[in-house]
């Protein structure tokens, strides 16, 4: 079982090409923890903005009558992947893990696999 700090460190070290990671409460838009990022990647701003993405997708699914769960959302940029994984583990309701990956170095399938594993180990 891992806490927030350990989970973010695991995200940054186990996922090739990781540039930044955040654990976000999408009910408030607040980042509960961040690691990485930098001058050109403000993870606090990204956390708030991606909260709107998740809220919009959840609303759309409700309007469509879809009863399925969102596993993750992928945003592909020219040089980056932005991967958002909604947490399913213990205490993860209303939270998501957000990771920014350098596209040239990242293996998207492995990143998704690692985030699923980190989600299962996260204890809040």
CATH number at residue 32: 3.30.450.30
User: Whole domain around residue 15: which residue ranges?
Assistant: 4-121
Reply yes or no on whether the pLDDT at 123 is more than 90. Answer: no
Domain count, the chain: 1
Within 10 Å of residue 24's Cβ, how many Cβ atoms? 27
For 53-68, write each residue's pLDDT tens digit: 999 999 999 999 999 9
Q: With bands split at pLDDT 50, 70 and 90, how would you rate the model's confidence at 30?
A: very high
| Count of C-beta atoms within a 10 Å radius of residue 113 | 13
Confidence grade of residue 90 (pLDDT, cut at 50, 70, 90): low
* pLDDT in the model for residue 39: 86
Residues 6+ apart with CB under 8 A from 102: 17, 18, 19, 79, 80
The CA distances from residue 10 to 17, 20, 97, in Å, are 13, 12, 12
Q: How far apart are the C-alpha atoms of 120 and 45, rounded to whole Å? A: 26
pLDDT of res. 63: 96
56-60, 65-69, 73-77, 85-89: range with lowest mean pLDDT: 85-89
């Amino acid at each position: 079982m891992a806490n927030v700090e350990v989970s973010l460190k695991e995200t940054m070290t186990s996922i090739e090409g990781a540039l930044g990671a955040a654990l976000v409460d999408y009910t408030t838009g607040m980042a509960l923890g961040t690691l990485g990022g930098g001058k050109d990647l403000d993870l606090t701003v990204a956390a708030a903005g991606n909260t709107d993405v998740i809220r919009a997708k959840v609303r759309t699914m409700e309007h469509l009558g879809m009863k399925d769960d969102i596993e993750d959302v992928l945003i592909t940029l020219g040089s980056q992947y932005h991967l958002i994984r909604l947490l399913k583990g213990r205490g993860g309701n209303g939270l998501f893990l957000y990771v920014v990956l350098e596209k040239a170095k990242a293996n998207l399938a492995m990143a998704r696999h690692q985030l699923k594993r980190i989600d299962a180990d996260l204890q809040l």
